[in-house]
Amino acid sequence: MASVPAPVTVVTTAVDGIPSGATVSSFASLSLDPPLVSIGLIEGSRLLRDIRRSRRLMINLLSHDQENAALQFASRAEDRFLGIGWTWESGLPKLDGVASYAECVVESDLPAGDHAMIFCKVLECRLTDTPPLIYGARKFGTHSHFMPA
């Protein structure tokens, strides 16, 4: 499955004013009415624990030039936000310079092997003209014919 291209997101949340986040490539759009998306997170991760507490999250779809942010949020660094531009948006961490972002609330949380599937309702979404970052065949890139809507 590593050869299947996927969007690169950094999913963020906050508990008691402390931000947490991780790089997530298991992200998909599910429904327009109501607007639903899904993410897959490994059981036992700090991000999953924090999302289960807060029940809210921000999906930051990285832009084509944010490979370093993807790598930093995929690392085991204690403070993954260090040196990354971000702001609070509706009480959630939103990364600067992303291609798009969506503020979400958890609708359901289901076990899926060693992961959990989190189904979220999109409350707010913003798009830019910036091409997104994708990951496939263990390489970062962007769609060769990306044309913003």
CATH number at residue 85: 2.30.110.10
User: Residue 148, preceding bond cis, omega within 30 degrees?
Assistant: no
Which residues are CB-neighbours of 77 under 8 A, at least 6 positions away? none
* 148 belongs to a structural domain: no
Distance (Å, rounded) from C-alpha 44 to C-alpha 34? 29
* 96 belongs to a structural domain: yes
At 128 the three-state DSSP class reads coil
* 144 belongs to a structural domain: no
Hey, which residues does 114 pair with through a beta bridge?
none
* 143 belongs to a structural domain: no
Quote the pLDDT of residue 58.
Answer: 98
* 95 belongs to a structural domain: yes
Count: domains in the chain? 1
DSSP state letters, 39-92:
EEEETT-HHHHHHHHH-EEEEEE-BTT-HHHHHHHHS--S-TTTT--EEEETTE
* 68 belongs to a structural domain: yes
Which residues are CB-neighbours of 96 under 8 A, at least 6 positions away? 84, 85, 86, 87
Per-residue pLDDT in tens (0 to 9) along the chain, 149 residues: 677 788 999 999 999 999 999 999 899 999 999 999 999 999 999 999 999 999 999 999 999 999 999 999 999 988 999 999 999 999 999 999 999 999 999 999 999 999 999 999 999 999 998 999 999 888 888 876 555 54
Cα–Cα nearest to 9, from 47, 53, 55: 47
Quote the pLDDT of residue 138.
Answer: 83
* 147 belongs to a structural domain: no
Per the structure, the complete domain to which residue 59 belongs is given by 6-137
CA dihedral 90, 99, 54, 48 (to 10 degrees): -170
Cα–Cα nearest to 102, from 77, 120, 117, 86: 120
DSSP state of 148: -
Contact yes or no for 100/132 (Cβ under 8 A): yes
Quote the pLDDT of residue 25.
Answer: 86
